[in-house]
Structure 1
Amino acid sequence: MGRWEPNASGRLREAALDLYVERGFEQTTVAEIAARAGLTARTFFRHFADKREVLFAGSELLEQQMVAALDGAPDAASPMDAVGAALDAAAVALGRNRDFSRRRHLVIVANGELMERELIKMTRLTAALTEGLRRRGVPEGDARLAAEAGGAVLRVAFEQWVTGSEQQDLAQVMRESVGRLRSLTR
């Protein structure tokens, strides 16, 4: 087996996603994922704690990038504009591979356990954005409301992007979603 070949993590992710789409998440084993990637199960566990983590690896990095973008927003930016900067960072991180994102989304929505994990990830993300807004001096209630609105935009825009037939850019879909949210409050 080619365990020393480059990009073992990426190969494992692709193999896992292919198998999850073909067979279903529950019916796929770590051994099958490793074999499809041309690696060993031991190598799998060097990269991922379990087969769910193949789908959620990078969540911490996404959170860090979004919080960094929020923190880097101009001091005069409104809370929603700061959240908009975080959404732009999310669009860059998540919008790189639409096919992968689309297949990942299909696997997650087909499994209750994975949906729960996705919701936990989103809750942590909105909590981190709330804390970032509080550091900017935004009162707790307003910070939470802006962060939750940003989380809603992220979920709705991402789903629209992965399920849509157009080859639209995720950043554009996010910006349009923020615009629609703002128009709903007028």
Structure 2
Amino acid sequence: MRLIFLGPPGAGKGTQAKRLTEKYGIPQLSTGDMLRAAVSAGTEIGKRAKAVMDAGGLVSDDIVNQIVAERIEEADCGKGFILDGYPRTVPQAMALSEAMKAKNLTLDAVIELKVDEEALVRRIESRVAETIAAGGTVRSDDNPEAFRKRLAEYRAKTAPLSAYYEEQGELVALDGMADVDAVTNAIIGVLEKSAA
């Protein structure tokens, strides 16, 4: 069970990944977690990543691709994995494809959660209002302006992945605005169909 989740911030990828992790006993792999693990393990690639991060730079695709390629070989990925937040670009997707081919692995699905971006912005606005009304503190990145910037960055850099995976015949688009349980059931349906 190897799958990739695509969709803008707030589409529910994290929620769905958590549910699938519990159902199938496979890990959810996020780029940030993989980078931190490689750095703390002191692997060769982790040392390279740490040097870049310590200098305040962005970790290159080469380093990220290698960290992912090494991570998917670990024992807990034997039954599969969910990639969330990787690949972010078409070149990363191509590198992942090469790495998986070298390991005789294939993707079961690339699932894109389609959402109404304006509805997501309204959701953030109401969450901020509720947090303030309850006397809570709003995270600095949890505001409509920051969220719109993240959406714009997603559209510019990551959205082209949809076309790439569609050309590969691997993309399945689902309605991410549906009820959480309905989305989960639709994903499970896609996975069961690909396993059949």
Alignment TM-score, normalising by the size of structure 1: 0.28
Select the structure that is richer in helix: 1
TM-score normalised by structure 2 residue count: 0.27
